[in-house]
Copies of this chain bind each other. A is one copy, B any other.
């Protein structure tokens, strides 16, 4: 759904996808086919829309918290709910160098995510980002010696890394300034990736986690994962050319994934 926040001539779009998952006492619906107490999809949809209209104009975390509360309040048979929200960012267009209030361009595939889980007493907020695709064209690890260098691929890793990063971090409180913290985590990821003199993907992920936990005391834990897209240098031998790491071809496999979770 698309929530347009209008403050005078300046509009802000919030492009949101909401998913909610329940647990509760629904055994009779499964074993006997009784539908009393089930959550009707249509009623739930209306509740989500009303909450989006009322609570959805800011960050996704407060919206998730408000929606959890409404669902637990509205359906007593639900004992535990998880609300997952994904936001697609839009950028403001400019005309003659001046930002327009009411015109936007879709951003990259990167998404902001949050998952708020509550049983009425306890609430947990996990925020994240997803599908952040980055490239490093040098600086990943020392060059290997020639005689270890028979696979092509391992060696290629050092001169080109194309990877999609995802991150999830758990807050120790649901009463923090989610927006600036999200921005801080994202900057830590990108700057560490861009500048870290890395020996390996593993080492870089750990360095990112270290920076984030040092930066935001209310983050109790962070999980970072990297999905690496394989490339190999093109073989230009038959064309009578050398190829000193200038032209790379995408491969289908192996796709490498590395994940690290660091707790405070």
Instruction: Give the complex CA separation of A234 and B261 in angstroms.
Output: 35
The residues of B that contact A137 with a CB separation of less than 8 Å are: 4, 6, 11, 13, 102-104
Q: Which of these, B11, B31, B40, B153, contacts A138 with CB under 8 Å? A: B11
User: Is chain A's binding surface mostly helix, strand, loop or mixed?
Assistant: mixed
A177 within 8 A of B: no
Q: Are B254 and A134 interface neighbours, CB within 8 A?
A: no
Q: How large is the interface on A (under 10, 10 to 19, 20 to 34, 35 or more residues)?
A: 35 or more
The residues of B that contact A147 with a CB separation of less than 8 Å are: none
Given contacts A109-B106, A162-B2, contact A90 B26 (CB under 8 A): no
Q: Are B234 and A135 interface neighbours, CB within 8 A?
A: no
* Centre residue among A32, A44, A193, A253 by max chain B CB count within 10 A: A253
Given contacts A2-B231, A199-B33, contact A106 B135 (CB under 8 A): yes
A260 within 8 A of B: yes
* Centre residue among A48, A93, A137, A195 by max chain B CB count within 10 A: A137
The residues of B that contact A44 with a CB separation of less than 8 Å are: 254
Given contacts A53-B247, A104-B135, A154-B40, contact A190 B93 (CB under 8 A): yes
Residues of A within 8 A of B (CB): 1-6, 11, 13, 21, 26, 29-35, 38, 40-42, 44-50, 52-54, 56, 90, 93-96, 100, 102-109, 132-139, 151, 153-154, 160, 162, 190-191, 193-195, 198-200, 202-203, 205-206, 230-231, 234, 236, 238-239, 241, 243, 245-254, 256-257, 260
List 13 A–B pairs whose Cβ atoms lie within 8 Å, in order of A's numbering. A2-B248, A5-B246, A21-B257, A33-B202, A34-B199, A38-B202, A41-B154, A48-B254, A50-B241, A54-B241, A103-B194, A105-B108, A107-B108
